[in-house]
Structure 1
Amino acid sequence: MDYELAIENTPGTVPGGTGILLLHPSIGETDRIDTDFFKTDTDHFLVISTRTTAREVEQKLEHYEVDESRATILDTLSIERGYSRRSADNIYYVASPDNLDAIVAKTREFLANHDGKLRFSVDSVTEMAYYADDDRAYEATKELLALLDEYDAVGLFHLSKEVHDEETLDKFRALFSGVVDLQEDGTVTAEFQ
């Protein structure tokens, strides 16, 4: 199954199983790319949020006019920060951003329980590495990429260029068949195999 991409300077479509690495300087411009990724050719999508709460993700989707009826959110912050959690069918919770096994398990649950064209984004791998460490975040990323293959889905993984050294960035780059590089000025370059 092929998926349309609405990210500038990327191929028009990518096959199911494709993981895309979004390298970015700061978080400001990533929302536009993330929401464009979800708007197109998607039946259901999962936002794996290690950076913001479910409420903040909902505000982002609303601001960028993304169809929230197709959204499921995995909130990894609210429990750790002691925020109240709203019970909803489309919101999953795990205890903290370093609970990587639970993040992978909840992602598998989402993919197994939905049909059609499925996408997820990990916002962000950098936060996973901050709470856990680079090696554990790398292994979790590999597991999430394997789920894309298994369920014929596509995924977008955020990684900050400002936080990681070049060796770490290269290690993550090597996992992905597509890399989108967001510059400080908002321009986008991409490299797909």
Structure 2
Amino acid sequence: MDYELAIENTPDTIPGGTGVLLIHPSTGETDRLDTDFLKTDTDHLLVVSTRTTAREVQQKLEYYDVDETKADILDTLSIERGYSRRSSEHVHYVSSPDDLDGIVAKVEEFLTTHDGKLRLSFDSITEMAYYADEDRAFDAIAQILDLLAEHDAVGLFHLAEEVHDPEVVTRYKELFGAVITLTEDGTVTGDFE
């Protein structure tokens, strides 16, 4: 199954099972790319947020006109920070951004319980690695990519380039094979094998 990819300077479609790495400056404006990815050609979507709370994700989806009835959110921050949480059937929580087993399990649960075209946004690998460590984060992302392939889904994974050592960035590029780079001035380029 192919998925439309409505992001400039990238292929028109990508096959199911593809994970796309979005490399960006830490101050880069990724919301537009993220929401363009999520709202195109999809039946259900999951936003895994290690950077913002569920409420902030909901505000972003609303602002960019993403159909929230299709959206599930995995909030990894609120419990650890002691924020109030309003559970619903579409908002899920794990205890912290370094609960990598919990994150992988929730992604698997979403992919297993939804049909049709499924998209995942993972914002962000950088924050998860900050809370856990580079190797554990890398292993968790590799597991999630395997789940995308198993369920014919696609995902967009955020990585703030300058926060990581160059060899870490290279390791992720090799893991993904499909890379979008956003520069400080807003230029978008795609590198798809």
TM-score normalized with structure 2 length: 0.99
* Secondary structure, aligned partner of 1:175: helix
Show CA shifts across 1:30-49 (max 9, x none): 11110000110000000000
| 1:177 Cα offset (Å) | 2.4
Match of 1:122 in 2: 122
The 8 Å contact of residues 3 and 15 in structure 2, kept in 1 or not, is answered as yes
1:13-24 aligned within 5 A: 13-24=13-24
Match of 1:61 in 2: 61
Q: 2: distance between equivalents of 1:178 and 1:28?
A: 19
Q: 1: distance between equivalents of 2:129 and 2:27?
A: 16
- Structure 2: tracts of 5 or more residues without a match: none
| 1:27 Cα offset (Å) | 4.6
Instruction: Name the aligned partner's letter for residue 185 of structure 2.
Output: D
Show CA shifts across 1:89-122 (max 9, x none): 0011000000000000000000001000001011
Q: 2: distance between equivalents of 1:133 and 1:165?
A: 13
1:127-146 aligned within 5 A: 127-146=127-146
Q: Are 2:186 and 1:190 aligned?
A: no
Runs of 4 or more consecutive aligned structure 1 residues displaced over 3 Å after TM superposition: none
Count of matched residue pairs: 193
Identity across aligned pairs (percent)? 70
Show CA shifts across 1:48-99 (max 9, x none): 0000000000000011111100000000000000011102100110000000
Q: 2: distance between equivalents of 1:65 and 1:153?
A: 22
Match of 1:149 in 2: 149
Q: 2: distance between equivalents of 1:34 and 1:119?
A: 11
* Secondary structure, aligned partner of 1:135: helix
Q: 1: distance between equivalents of 2:48 and 2:153?
A: 15
The 8 Å contact of residues 28 and 183 in structure 2, kept in 1 or not, is answered as no
